Amino acid sequence: MLKLKLNDIQRAAERLRGAVLETPCVESLTLSRITGAQVFLKFENLQFTASFKERGAFNKLAQLSAQERARGVVAMSAGNHAQGVAYHAERLGLRAVIVMPRFTPGVKVERTRGFGAEVVLHGDTLAEARQHAYALAEQQGLVFVHPYDDVQIAAGQGTLALEMLAAQPDLEQLVVAVGGGGLIAGVATAAKGLKPGIEVIGVQAQRFAAMVNAVRHEDLPMGSSTIAEGIAVTQPGEITTQIVRRLVDDLLLVDEGDIEQAVLMLLEIEKTLVEGAGAAALAALLRHPQRFAGKKVGLVLSGGNIDPMLLASIIERGMVRSGRLTRLKVNARDVPGVLARITATVAAAGANIAEVHHQRAFTLLAAQSVEIELVLQTRNQDHAQEVMAALQAQDMQVSAV
């Protein structure tokens, strides 16, 4: 089996110069204060296709022989790898065929086509799409570009670690999201080659702990979905798993709530948009703060391709958790002016009404009573309690929903 070495990554960095963005790696003072670690963020979501996947794709394509270039390439992906391969194939003048599962959102399909790739929608699962990509490679003589289990791909991904340590040589820990393992294999090889004492820590979604299972010989169950779909891999690579076993110091799990919170914090605090997988590293600091306390920690924000509807849901759910969106049920006598009295009380308490639902028929209250459900914009949970107390002072029965 081919081995990945530091000089492979250093040569990849020379190839990538001018082809991909050398993204910033800067300290976040606010996140450092919140987490108890000194946090440095690597903004890979600023790449042209909004993901680190460009690095590996370009490194692979740039090393094809003249004969392989003439044949063209095929890749299977429902997201970032597809766009990275399509974009750089177009720049290099190569034919690119991208196989995507039929469930791939239309916006991702059209964006991949926009880079000049031939998109083939096939299969209801990633496994079916992958098998079709292999079949096309054989039938048409195309070069298959694997999303992670390839030394040249991993070498390209590892170039971001060279940049991180050049910008922040005192980093003590690197925290990286793990799906198939291409990114962390490259990062661990580069980081340990330059600084043997540095810790490299991988992060997986609780619902897709495939690398944890492979490395620790566990049998954690696989889920059906996660908001970190970029790392929702059920079978990590063989090459990458060997590297993880040898070089990665720890693997941590995070749940869906941790990832949602991290996406929202990065949006609010850093004004940067990340997808679920891109927020996994920060989610690990929020979930396991003692593991990183007092350390200089580099987090890779690996991608920023998130569905707008999913983002809207994450924002709304985050506002509920923090008490900035509160739902109350108010029971009162059904007399003229009662709704005006409720709204006046809420306004006087400094809250804003986002929604109101006036219910008479579908309630177990007495016929002379009315049930009013309010969705309020409040400052925090303490403020929500103040609003409830103000309504109760008006002889109304109030409960949080």
Residues classed as catalytic:
53, 302
Q: How many CA atoms lie within 13 A of 332 on its CB side?
A: 23
Strand pairing partners for 173? 199, 297
10 Å CB burial of residue 139 (0-12, 13-18, 19+) is: exposed
Concatenated DSSP letters of 94-160: --EEEEE-TTS-HHHHHHHHHTT-EEEE--SSHHHHHHHHHHHHHHHTPEE--SSS-HHHHHHHHHH
Query: 267 near 142, Cβ under 8 Å?
Result: no
Residues 318 and 95: their CA atoms lie apart, in Å, by: 43
CA atoms of 92 and 63, how far apart (whole Å): 11
CA distance 170 to 195: 10
In this structure, how many other beta carbons lie within 10 angstroms of the beta carbon of residue 39?
25
Q: Which helix (H) or strand (E) holds 13?
A: helix 6-16
Note whether 200 and 192 are within 8 A (CB): yes
Helix-helix angle 151-167:6-16, to 10 degrees: 80
